[in-house]
A and B are shown apart, each in its own frame.
Chain A
Amino acid sequence: DTEVTQTPKHLVMGMTNKKSLKCEQHMGHRAMYWYKQKAKKPPELMFVYSYEKLSINESVPSRFSPECPNSSLLNLHLHALQPEDSALYLCASSQAGQGVRSYNSPLHFGNGTRLTVT
């Protein structure tokens, strides 16, 4: 069983909809991530939060808006998405170090939200 829980598992939304993806972890990790994964590709980093502050934004379009309400929760708000945004969205967490993350610490992934934009 994964220790990072993502909801919903599947989401279909139109281009004018607003929806949110949710992620929760209770491992005490203070670094949390959003990744996007297309079929048969490695995950691509979108955002990193460290100690509840946004540390890295990989030039993600503003139609994706992350939020970290507390050390256990991470949200990704979606608005006016395009069909090419359809993908598997993965949340991950890790121990945080002096910087963003302890570099020896592995990423712990959830099982993802399969997003389809119609």
Chain B
Amino acid sequence: DQQVKQNSPSLSVQEGRISILNCDYTNSMFDYFLWYKKYPAEGPTFLISISSIKDKNEDGRFTVFLNKSAKHLSLHIVPSQPGDSAVYFCAASEDFGNEKLTFGTGTRLTIIP
């Protein structure tokens, strides 16, 4: 039972355009959400997070939107750059600081120069 789902295994976006990566979850106890970025042969690195008390969090070119009623979050990257090509994982936990993270299956983003 996949509690965190990323239904698009891959996404290609032109350089300079907006990349939108989506994530859905089923567990209503999830209260804290994170996005990680992963390059080949490296571990995931933290990108941005959002608590359920907010519906938007922004950090430079990265913005995460949370729709709790729809159990949906999205990561927007604008403008997209070639270095953004990576696999992006959505993750969720029941509260901030909870070691038990549940990860999605990942979306491979390719930025086309």
Do chains A and B stick together as partners? no
* Interface set of B (CB-CB < 8 Å, partner A): none
